[in-house]
Chains A and B, each alone.
Chain A
Amino acid sequence: MATLKELAAKDELFSGGHRLCSGCGIPPIVRLLLRSAGSPVVATSATGCLEVGTSIYPYTAWRIPWIHSAFENAAATISGIESAYRAFKKKGRIPADKEIKFLALGGDGGTYDIGFQALSGALERGHNFLYVCYDNGAYMNTGIQRSSATPLGSATTTSPAGAKRPGKQEWRKDLTRVVVAHNIPYAAQASPHNWRDLEGKARKAFNVAGPAFMNIISPCPLGWYSKPEDSINAARLAVDTCYWPLYEVENGILRVTYRPKEKKPIADWFKIQGRFKHLFKPENSHLLDETQKRIDAEWQRLLDMDGKAVF
């Protein structure tokens, strides 16, 4: 397990001067990821906050080779890069002892929704890469529209808190489970507030042979209507309320990597975010109750599976 002193001694491969929002949850995730690879990393980002914020010409925050191609194709793009790497290794154009890790990054829009097909295809084909979804629960880059990752009841610009429809009316897609169903060597959920857990998972994910996937919750002050200084705490509460359980599935065995000492009510997480404000009105209490019930049930399901084979 690396200490922060050891991690801080490694090169900073993600520079300041990027244009991501103040208090954005994405950079701490990326900074940890790049330090956990252990080898040079080549990365691609789907269109989204991370891409736009880090690559406004002629400025780039990346000190690794990085490419942005389009919104829905991060997994397909990395497939091509990784295949070129294998071709070059075979032909001796890259020395046999040189190892490169491949990383694809996308937000929830670029991963759960528009990039889902490309992700599924790349996982099935078995490319050796890590896909990381930074899940902030909506299309934040285009101005907070609902995605299939948006929580039930959350107000977005396309699921506003209306009189008849108070926020998003559907439960979110459980993408991590869908990815697990691809039978890849490694899949996990992580959170930036728990850097030790995140870094350890990323190290495993980079080092398995074949595809790996990490779904990482990424607080967004803009779209969550939360205070920038609360971002890391918001991630912590998502985990302590068990809205965002930390777990991994390694070679088919599920392991819950963190159990809150005291499981907090979902309202604790909701109340620091403006996007859930309307759920505290009496007429919307059923949404709060429904959320709590489902979270409890899903957390219990995970606990029941802890240490067991997922299939």
Chain B
Amino acid sequence: MAIVTGKQVGLTGNSAIAYAMRQIDPDVCAAYPITPSTGIIEEFSSYYADGQVSTELITVESEHSAMSACVGASAAGARVMTATSSQGLALMWEMLYIASGMRLPVVMTVVNRALSAPINIHCDHSDSMGARDSGWIQLYSETVQEAYDNLLQAVRIAEDPRVLTPAMVCMDGFITSHAVENITLLADGEVKGFIGDYKPGRSLLDTDNPITMGAMTLQDVYMDFKHEQSMAIAGAKEVVVEVGSDFGRRFGRHYGLMECYRLEDAEAAIVVLNSAAGTTKVAVDELRKKGKKVGLLKPRLFRPFPYAEIAAALKNVKAVCVLDRADSMNGFGGPLFSEVRSALYGLASVPKVMGRIFGLGGRDYTVEHSTAVFEGLYRIIETGRMEELTGYLKS
């Protein structure tokens, strides 16, 4: 719960998300408990029990039903939210595609946690990376502040009539979800003004204009629907930028597609998502003091993947290490590595790119690890040789 110091409030990631959900006051929330996202729904349930939200809370019997109820409610024209982690997201998998295919702007917080087996409740990105091709927008958050800000923006992005695509906001389990950070909250009125009302273009509850949703499509049109959906999510990139700029104008915290940290003149760079970016920044600062030109690229938007912008940001770097907190189990590194490396392919001068898996199941990632990665990148720059393209970070 909240620790207030001046304008800043000390909140855990889960509390900040629950607070944002209270401010958003969705029409329907359907959720099921799972560590480490449970706290979000517990706190939201308290707001509900105390009458602080007008939401209908559905405490379903599984995550599959959570997302199914979200789909039903969203098809009825409601603003809908939920939260989950790990196995819960895995159980929702079928429904993720149905939410996005039906173009329902459900907003979900994913508190990143490893997938079984073996069972592990701690952070990695196997869960949300497993859902990366489900047609959901994915925003990643380094800090509690970013998670809070991303959730508010996700509502507007998802509901934008040009987008109409569900969105997940990811933050690291325990590291972000359970750690107290000082953050700045918006006033309830500011949130309401920023997100506006959701005006659905269709609703199952409009019984005077009955619609059919979820129809069976055959070879003649299925591909056209997928094509239309594909263009909508690709177009969401512009809306993410637009909404991020408006958020910055209003509240002073600016958001784009990614954060580039001391990257302008960098020779060696790390690309990493979520909280590990914070650790990496410390290493960057220390190495910069020693005269090393190192930098960081932290993608904020992973779906759709801003390949051109990432390539432009890395085009002058000599060597890059992409750190993945998930293994694609394909013998070729993690998903972020594959996509960043692919994005760089069209450059006139392609940096050397290696991939390292790190931090699975909550394994620590320290400044020392980050420094060692940069040292490895410098060896590549100096020798021109990369000994290992992909592998696990030694830890």
Residues of A at under 8 Å CB distance from B? 40-42, 44, 51-52, 55-58, 60, 62-70, 72-73, 75-88, 90-91, 94, 100, 117-118, 120-122, 124-125
The B110-165 residues at the A interface (CB cut-off 8 A) are: none
Q: How far is the CB of B48 from chain A (nearest CB, A)?
A: 12
Pick from B8-16, B212-220, B297-305, B338-346 the stretch touching chain A: B212-220
Q: State whether B56 touches A87 (Cβ < 8 A).
A: yes
Q: Residue of B at shortest CB range from A40?
A: B207
Interchain CA distance A55-B215 in the complex, whole Å: 5
Interchain CA distance A91-B25 in the complex, whole Å: 12
Q: How far is the CB of B261 from chain A (nearest CB, A)?
A: 41
- Chain B residues whose C-beta falls within 8 Å of the C-beta of A82 in the assembled complex: 72
Binary flags per residue of B64-93, CB closer than 8 Å to A gives 1, else 0? 111011111111111010000000000000
Q: How far is the CB of A105 from chain B (nearest CB, A)?
A: 13
Binary flags per residue of B161-184, CB closer than 8 Å to A gives 1, else 0? 000000000000000000000000
B61 within 8 A of A: yes
B221 within 8 A of A: yes
CB contacts between A and B, total, < 8 Å: 171
Asked whether A80 and B205 contact (CB < 8 A) given A51-B216, A70-B94, the answer is no
B30 within 8 A of A: yes
B62 within 8 A of A: yes
- Chain B residues whose C-beta falls within 8 Å of the C-beta of A51 in the assembled complex: 214, 216
B329 within 8 A of A: no
Q: State whether A69 touches B68 (Cβ < 8 A).
A: yes
- Chain B residues whose C-beta falls within 8 Å of the C-beta of A94 in the assembled complex: 205
Q: State whether A120 touches B61 (Cβ < 8 A).
A: yes
Q: State whether B69 touches A77 (Cβ < 8 A).
A: yes
- Chain B residues whose C-beta falls within 8 Å of the C-beta of A83 in the assembled complex: 28, 30, 56, 58, 69, 72-73, 78
Q: State whether B211 touches A44 (Cβ < 8 A).
A: no
Q: Which of B28, B60, B211, B217 contacts A84 (CB 8 A)?
A: B28
B257 within 8 A of A: no
Q: Residue of A at shortest CB range from B72?
A: A80
Q: How far is the CB of A49 from chain B (nearest CB, A)?
A: 11
Asked whether A56 and B218 contact (CB < 8 A) given A80-B30, A121-B60, the answer is yes
Q: How far is the CB of B325 from chain A (nearest CB, A)?
A: 30
- Chain B residues whose C-beta falls within 8 Å of the C-beta of A44 in the assembled complex: 72
- Chain B residues whose C-beta falls within 8 Å of the C-beta of A91 in the assembled complex: 27, 54
Please give me the 9 A-B residue pairs with the lowest Cβ-Cβ distance, nearest first. A80-B72, A121-B61, A80-B69, A84-B76, A76-B68, A40-B207, A68-B214, A76-B65, A80-B73
Q: State whether A79 touches B213 (Cβ < 8 A).
A: no
B204 within 8 A of A: yes
Q: State whether B61 touches A73 (Cβ < 8 A).
A: no
- Chain A residues whose C-beta falls within 8 Å of the C-beta of B75 in the assembled complex: 67, 80-81
Q: Which of A57, A69, A77 contacts B217 (CB 8 A)?
A: A57
Asked whether A65 and B210 contact (CB < 8 A) given A88-B78, A125-B58, the answer is yes
Interchain CA distance A77-B210 in the complex, whole Å: 17
B206 within 8 A of A: yes
11 contacts between A and B (CB under 8 A): A65-B211, A68-B214, A69-B102, A70-B68, A80-B76, A80-B78, A84-B28, A84-B56, A90-B56, A100-B205, A118-B65
B371 within 8 A of A: no
Q: Which of B66, B77, B102, B207 contacts A100 (CB 8 A)?
A: B207
Q: How far is the CB of A106 from chain B (nearest CB, A)?
A: 13
B38 within 8 A of A: no
Q: Residue of B at shortest CB range from A19?
A: B216
Asked whether A81 and B210 contact (CB < 8 A) given A73-B68, A76-B64, the answer is no
Interchain CA distance A11-B371 in the complex, whole Å: 73
- Chain B residues whose C-beta falls within 8 Å of the C-beta of A69 in the assembled complex: 68, 71-72, 95, 98, 102, 214
B59 within 8 A of A: yes
Q: State whether A84 touches B77 (Cβ < 8 A).
A: yes
Q: How far is the CB of A113 from chain B (nearest CB, A)?
A: 14
Q: Residue of B at shortest CB range from A44?
A: B72
Interchain CA distance A163-B55 in the complex, whole Å: 59
- Chain A residues whose C-beta falls within 8 Å of the C-beta of B74 in the assembled complex: 80, 84
Q: State whether B205 touches A55 (Cβ < 8 A).
A: no
Interchain CA distance A124-B203 in the complex, whole Å: 26
Given contacts A76-B65, A87-B28, 10 further A-B contacts (CB under 8 A): A55-B215, A65-B203, A65-B205, A69-B68, A69-B98, A79-B69, A88-B77, A90-B54, A117-B61, A117-B62
Q: How far is the CB of B324 from chain A (nearest CB, A)?
A: 31
Binary flags per residue of B296-319, CB closer than 8 Å to A gives 1, else 0? 000000000000000000000000
Interchain CA distance A100-B27 in the complex, whole Å: 18
Interchain CA distance A86-B64 in the complex, whole Å: 22
Interchain CA distance A60-B217 in the complex, whole Å: 11
- Chain A residues whose C-beta falls within 8 Å of the C-beta of B61 in the assembled complex: 117-118, 120-121, 124
Max chain B Cβ within 10 angstroms of own Cβ: one of A42, A76, A86, A120 = A76
Interchain CA distance A52-B221 in the complex, whole Å: 15
Max chain B Cβ within 10 angstroms of own Cβ: one of A42, A55, A117 = A42
Q: Residue of A at shortest CB range from B61?
A: A121
Q: State whether B210 touches A63 (Cβ < 8 A).
A: yes
Q: State whether A76 touches B72 (Cβ < 8 A).
A: yes
Asked whether A121 and B62 contact (CB < 8 A) given A51-B216, A76-B68, A94-B205, the answer is yes
Q: State whether B65 touches A68 (Cβ < 8 A).
A: no
Q: State whether A88 touches B221 (Cβ < 8 A).
A: no
- Chain A residues whose C-beta falls within 8 Å of the C-beta of B27 in the assembled complex: 84, 87-88, 91
Interchain CA distance A118-B94 in the complex, whole Å: 15
- Chain B residues whose C-beta falls within 8 Å of the C-beta of A120 in the assembled complex: 61
Q: State whether A76 touches B204 (Cβ < 8 A).
A: no
Q: Which of B72, B77, B95, B215 contacts A56 (CB 8 A)?
A: B215
Q: How far is the CB of A114 from chain B (nearest CB, A)?
A: 10
Q: Residue of A at shortest CB range from B70?
A: A80
